[in-house]
Amino acid sequence: MHMEQEIWKEKHYSFFKNSLCEYFPCHPTDDPENFNCLFCYCPLYLLGERCGGNFEYTENGIKSCGKCTFPHRRENYGAMMERYRDILDMLKEQRTRV
């Protein structure tokens, strides 16, 4: 385990499980005890094909993340936070094009 992952593991704000949610778990998992609901609506979705997750496009061209558990794994909190830089960069790019 990377040092960054060890640091996040000790922080209570890096994990939230809502087992009372009607949709819990929203993706198939073998480890519901470590299913992180913190990123229920994945911020990486807007990165499109650059999100790095296990996604596919439906026949209608809509991105489907139904098989992706990356943001829901407890150990990926640090990696999710690192990706916010990519999101900010993309938003800056879009602003300069307008």
Amino acid at 71: P
CB-CB contact of 46 with 90 (8 Å): yes
Question: If phi over 0 gives left and psi between -120 and 50 gives alpha, with beta otherwise, what is residue 58?
Answer: beta
CB-CB contact of 57 with 63 (8 Å): yes
Total-model pTM: 0.78
Q: Is pLDDT above 50 for 1?
A: no
Number of domains in the chain: 1
Can you give the residue range of the structural domain that contains 75? 3-97
Helices (H) and strands (E) in the chain, counts: 3, 2
| Segment 56-92, tens digit of pLDDT | 999 999 999 988 999 999 999 999 999 999 999 999 9
pLDDT at 65: 92
